[in-house]
């Protein structure tokens, strides 16, 4: 038996990548919309309600409109926008979040796919808050470096056109400190307030790493960075898509440098702890088009339809 899937917003970066994943699946029937009717509300309504699963790869306002078109209790909506990520009536699409999260994703009809920066931050922070090591009122400071594909089609075109010298160096952005991922970074990690967070886009297509800073005197109890690494390793011990690497190991680096792109073309997240007894950082690395977007959406679909969670995805 096949699962009928519709992608609303099939022309964007996330939608195209979802199509790439689905094209390899024999258990999926993709419902395609005629290009001329891509913005036709009634045609979208028909396809959404004919599907078992609809992926929304749209801006927030358009996603809300698409959700309003659902007229049955069977269609599962998996939304990749920021519109629903902190709503309790939507399941957060991060199976590794808590022990109960997979069961919720299996039964939910509304699933919000996490943001790429948020996924990396939450996966490295939430176990520490849940385990009582980091207090809920912790003032988190973090930055992310990411490939330009996260900026969408226009940014991709700008970088790939070449000839613009300013695009060859890293470019910090969202310096008003109001990045759209901040609400979910706080809510889904268990913090009372959002981190001070600055993202940086680099001259490479994809790959992302979020670094979060810690001082031992900020922790709720005495702990060394090795203890933090052990806590994370225990929390994710049986997770197929998460690796917690050894503390400060030379093998974590490439001749002393960190490789942001080492998880590319996988659905894997690598988590590291670097530092010493006086200060340390966590670093979470992923493919921003994989586990940071489309791969996460497919993982959620697999759980919801009862398929192998790893189907179509690479570790």
Q: What is the dihedral of CA 250, 287, 201, 215, to 10 degrees?
A: -50
pLDDT of amino acid 182: 98
Pairing of strands 3-8, 28-31: parallel
Catalytic sites, residue numbers: 116
pLDDT of amino acid 214: 98
Q: What is the CA radius of gyration of the chain?
A: 20
Phi, psi (5° rounding) for residue 173?
Answer: -145, 180
Question: What domains lie within the chain, and their CATH numbers?
Answer: 3-114+292-305 (3.40.50.720), 116-288 (3.30.360.10)
pLDDT in tens, 166-204: 999 999 999 999 999 999 999 999 999 999 999 999 999
CA distance 49 to 142: 41
pLDDT band at 122 (very low <50, low <70, confident <90, very high): very high
pLDDT of amino acid 11: 86
Share of the chain above pLDDT 90, in %: 98
CA distance 286 to 296: 11
pLDDT band at 1 (very low <50, low <70, confident <90, very high): confident
pLDDT in tens, 84-102: 999 999 999 999 999 999 9
CA distance 274 to 263: 18
pTM: 0.97
Structure token pair of residue 285: 């690395």
Mean per-residue pLDDT, 258-264: 98
Closest CA to 272 of 194, 214, 220: 214
pLDDT band at 10 (very low <50, low <70, confident <90, very high): confident
What secondary structure letter does DSSP report for 33? Answer: -
Mean per-residue pLDDT, 231-243: 98
Round the average pLDDT of the chain to a whole number and report it. Answer: 97
CA distance 127 to 224: 16
pLDDT in tens, 265-295: 999 999 999 999 999 999 999 999 999 999 9
Distance between alpha carbon 251 and the CA centroid of its chain, in Å? 25
Half-sphere exposure for 169 (CA within 13 Å, toward CB): 3
């Amino acid at each position: 038996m096949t699962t009928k899937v519709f992608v609303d917003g099939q022309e964007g970066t996330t939608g195209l990548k979802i199509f790439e994943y689905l094209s390899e699946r024999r258990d999926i029937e993709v419902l395609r919309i005629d290009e001329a009717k891509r913005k036709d509300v009634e045609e979208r309504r028909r396809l959404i309600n004919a599907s078992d699963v609809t992926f929304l790869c749209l801006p927030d306002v358009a996603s809300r409109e698409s959700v309003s078109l659902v007229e049955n209790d069977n269609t599962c909506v998996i939304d990749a926008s920021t519109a629903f990520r902190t709503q309790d009536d939507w399941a957060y699409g991060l199976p590794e979040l808590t022990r109960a999260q997979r069961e919720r994703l299996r039964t939910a009809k509304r699933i919000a796919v996490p943001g790429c920066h948020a996924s990396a931050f939450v996966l490295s922070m939430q176990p520490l808050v849940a385990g009582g090591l980091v207090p809920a009122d912790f003032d988190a400071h973090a930055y992310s470096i990411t490939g330009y594909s996260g900026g969408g089609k226009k940014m991709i075109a700008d970088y790939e056109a070449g000839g613009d010298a300013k695009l060859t160096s890293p470019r910090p952005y969202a310096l008003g400190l109001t990045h759209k991922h901040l609400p979910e970074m706080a809510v889904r990690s268990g913090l009372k307030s959002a981190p001070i967070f600055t993202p940086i886009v680099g001259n490479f297509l994809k790959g992302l790493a979020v670094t979060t800073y810690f001082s031992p005197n900020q922790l709720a109890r005495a702990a060394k960075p090795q203890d933090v690494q052990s806590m994370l390793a225990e929390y994710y011990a049986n997770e197929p898509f998460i690796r917690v690497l050894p503390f400060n190991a030379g093998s974590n680096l490439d001749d002393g440098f960190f490789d942001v792109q080492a998880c590319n073309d996988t659905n894997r997240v690598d988590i590291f702890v670097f530092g010493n007894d006086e200060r340390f950082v966590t670093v979470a690395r992923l493919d921003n088009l994989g586990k940071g977007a489309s791969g996460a959406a497919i993982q959620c679909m697999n759980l919801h339809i009862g398929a192998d969670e790893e189907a179509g995805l690479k570790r």
